[in-house]
Chain A
Amino acid sequence: MDIMELLRSLIELNLGEYLLSVGTATWIVDLIGVMTLATVCMILVIFLIWLERKVIARMQDRIGPNRVGGKYGLLQPVSDATKLLSKELITPAGADRIPYNLAPILIVVASLLTWAVIPVAPGVVGVDLNIGVFYILAISSVSVVTFLLAGWGSNNKYALLGAFRAVAQMVSYEVPMIVALLVPILLARSMSTVDIVEAQGIPFIIVVPLSALIFFISALAETGRTPFDLLEADSEIVAGFHIEYSGMKFAMFFLAEFLGTLFMSAFFVVIYLGGYRFFGLENLTIGHLHIGPLLGFIVFSTKVFLVYFVFIWIRATLPRVRVDQLLDFNWKFLVPLSLVLLLTVAVMDKLFLADANAVTKAAVLMVTNIVVGWVTIEILRWRDRDGETAVVPDVVDDAHEAVAAH
């Protein structure tokens, strides 16, 4: 009977409650939960590295890894990891030891901490904080510090330049990200990730598509992926802030990048795609078996990997932007647009749609979003035709002047 109960709790995804009911101490259950979450995330990354290489290779008309682990090269990341583990850890001369060694640890810790508030299935969440989204933003703003630690500790000018770029980029793109996130928080009337998922009878990507788009672009920049991968632009600053790291310390930065991207996919799914919800599948009960949480988990994972695929797709497709384009795009386009959107949604929601039912509300908000986006594009087009925006930016002008003066 006990075994049956154990199996049942495994299928219903409430192993924690089962363990508590047979008298396990709370802190042991907590520890098991933390270790499971952290380990699953790290193991997923091994698979994600393979996926990323393979998908990018296919998109660029190559074959990709195909030597290790059968026809599809599935074990390639394992051999990569083994190689990284066996490599020598070199500390550069003149490195500042404490920041240099602290940075790779802290960056992985910060990427793992954010997972605590992601609800992966109904009732399955590390901890349901009433400030969930704010917690995520605070932790990711702390992770910015690790770039400075790495860049400064390495005693290398490329590393320092890379760190400066990384911090400038991440601090800038945090602003439109937070403002865009305020829109779903406003609609859900809560900052808790679980409440936001529960509020999405209609997924927020349909209700406020513009906010989702702004968030997605900012998330691309926050994770430092193409087209915003200036912080490790190989052709300009060699590899950025982690140039002086070797072996497993380098692998930790790599791990944190993949964890961050996977996390941003999960965050996007939770905030805009309804998390584990899919037409009531998450509440399904067959016979006496409450199978909903398991189905919810499968739905959540599918959505996360779909979003992750879009991340890879963009990486394989777009070229890198320049620094001035990066900052102009953020401060002159994304930030004003997200502020206008937030005000529009707030006014519509409070003044005109206070008594409307869910479907009307969603439809009106969606139309508002599309109108705001369309007007923005029209304004940009109009300005461009008038020649008010610099088509040839100052940098190129300066270069021309320098050449002419020479």
Chain B
Amino acid sequence: MFEQVFFIFVAVVTLGFALIVVTNKNLFHAALALMGTFLGVAIIYVTLGAGFLAMAQLLVYIGAISILIIFAIMMTRHMMSAEEAAFNSQAGLSLFTAVAFFVLVAYVFISYWPTTPADAMLATMTPVDPAILENSVVALGQSFVSPNAYVLPFEVASVMLLAALVGSIFIAKPRLKEDEA
């Protein structure tokens, strides 16, 4: 009961922040609301018992990506008078895409989610073994480097990140002038 009330509260607040992100005319406020959205998602991860994922969400999305977005806003716009039009010509198309995606997700969930009533479902569910939760980080780390699990995607992702890193340095590098070259 309490979990459901809490979840609905967090979900409503998160969606409210998300709504502010797309409707607010002040870009800085929109970026702050984006942080609120990320925080809401992190709280949902915590309630699901995924502590590591929640902290990664905080560290990566709020601590790094949001700050990067704010820096980008401040460096590229007139920061103190950042009144932007909330919608541009792509608004209709975006709305269509978003609604279509939502319908797809809703269809998948309704089709494949267990449709037994909540009480019957609770009766058949087994509680999560506390030992699994306690060692979740160790299990995660081992599955990242285990040949039987995710070592290939993990390595591919790291190579891709390295390539992105080198590429961004190359783009940001000041061009040599003709006489210097």
Binds B, one of A142-150, A321-329, A357-365: A142-150
The answer to whether A149 touches B32 (Cβ under 8 A) is yes
Q: Which of A69-77, A131-139, A293-301 contacts B (4 or more CB under 8 A)?
A: A131-139
Residues from 51 to 102 in B contacting A, C-beta threshold 8 Å: 51-52, 55-56, 58-59, 62-64, 66-67, 70-71, 74, 79-80
> What interface size band does chain A fall in?
20 to 34
In the complex, what residues of B have CB within 8 A of residue A130's CB?
51, 134-137
Evaluate whether A141 and B136 lie within 8 angstroms (CB atoms) in the complex, with A96-B28, A134-B52, A134-B55 already known.
no
Q: Which of B29, B35, B137 contacts A131 (CB 8 A)?
A: B137
Residue of A nearest to B68 (CB): A171
Q: Which residues of B contact A167 (CB under 8 A)?
A: 67, 71
Q: Are A141 and B58 in contact (CB under 8 A)?
A: yes
Tell me which residues across on chain B come within 8 A of A101, comparing CB atoms: none
Chain B residues whose CB sits within 8 angstroms of the CB of A135 once the complex forms: 51, 55
B59's partner among A99, A137, A145, A149 (CB-CB below 8 A) is A137
- Complex: how many Å from CA A171 to CA B137? 25
A142-B63 in contact given A130-B51, A131-B52 (Cβ < 8 Å): yes
Q: Number of B residues contacting the other chain (C-beta, 8 Å)?
A: 24
> Within 8 Å CB of B67, what residues of A?
144-145, 148, 167, 171
Assuming the A-B contacts A145-B66, A167-B67, A191-B137, are A131 and B51 also in contact, with contact meaning beta carbons closer than 8 angstroms in the complex?
yes
Q: Find out whether the CB atom of A141 lies under 8 angstroms from the CB atom of B63.
A: yes
Q: How far is the CA of A379 from the CA of B56 in the complex (A)?
A: 36
Chain A residues 164 to 220 lying within 8 A of chain B, measured CB to CB, are: 167, 171, 191
Docked-complex contact B134 and A144, CB < 8 angstroms: no
Flag B23-43 by CB within 8 Å of A: 1 or 0 each.
Answer: 000001100100100000000
Q: Is A98 an interface residue (CB 8 A)?
A: yes
In Å, the complex CA distance between A171 and B65 comes to 12
Q: Which residues of B contact A152 (CB under 8 A)?
A: 28, 70, 74, 79
Nearest neighbor of B57 in chain A, beta-carbon distance:
A138
A372 CB within 8 Å of chain B: no
Q: Does A283 contact B (CB under 8 A)?
A: no
Q: Chain A contacts of B66 at CB under 8 A? A: 145
- Docked-complex contact A145 and B35, CB < 8 angstroms: yes
> Known: A129-B51, A131-B55, A135-B55. Contact between A141 and B64, CB under 8 A?
yes
A149 to B74, CA, bound (A): 12
Q: Which residues of B contact A191 (CB under 8 A)?
A: 137
Nearest CB to that of A174 among chain B residues? Answer: B63
**Taking the complex as formed, is A344 at the interface, i.e. its CB lies under 8 A from any CB of chain B?**
no
Q: Across the interface, which residues of A come within 8 angstroms of B58, CB to CB?
A: 138-139, 141-142
In the complex, A148→B73 CA distance in Å? Answer: 12
What separation, in Å, do the CA atoms of A191 and B70 have in the docked complex?
31
Q: How far is the CA of A98 from the CA of B79 in the complex (A)?
A: 16
Nearest opposing residue in chain B for A147, CB measure: B67
Q: Are A144 and B52 in contact (CB under 8 A)?
A: no
In the bound assembly, the distance between CA atoms of A171 and B62 in angstroms comes to 12
| Inter-chain contacts of B71 with A (CB < 8 A) | 167
Q: A138 to B32: give the CA distance in the assembly, Å.
A: 17
User: B16 CB to closest chain A CB, in angstroms?
Assistant: 14
In this assembly, does A9 line the interface, its C-beta being within 8 Å of a C-beta of chain B? no
Q: A130-B136, A130-B137, A191-B137 are in contact. Are A145 and B62 (CB under 8 A)?
A: yes
20 additional A-B pairs beyond A130-B51, A131-B51, A141-B63, beta carbons within 8 Å, are A99-B32, A130-B134, A131-B55, A131-B137, A134-B55, A134-B59, A137-B55, A137-B59, A138-B56, A141-B58, A144-B67, A145-B66, A145-B67, A148-B67, A148-B70, A152-B28, A152-B74, A160-B74, A171-B64, A171-B67
User: Can you report 18 A-B residue pairs in the complex whose CB atoms are below 8 A from each other?
Assistant: A94-B80, A130-B51, A131-B51, A131-B55, A135-B51, A137-B55, A138-B59, A141-B64, A142-B62, A142-B63, A145-B35, A145-B67, A149-B32, A152-B70, A152-B79, A167-B67, A167-B71, A171-B67
Using a CB–CB cutoff of 8 Å, the interface residues on chain B facing chain A are 28-29, 32, 35, 51-52, 55-56, 58-59, 62-64, 66-67, 70-71, 74, 79-80, 134-137
Leading 6 A-B pairs by shortest Cβ distance: A141-B63, A138-B58, A138-B55, A138-B59, A134-B55, A131-B52
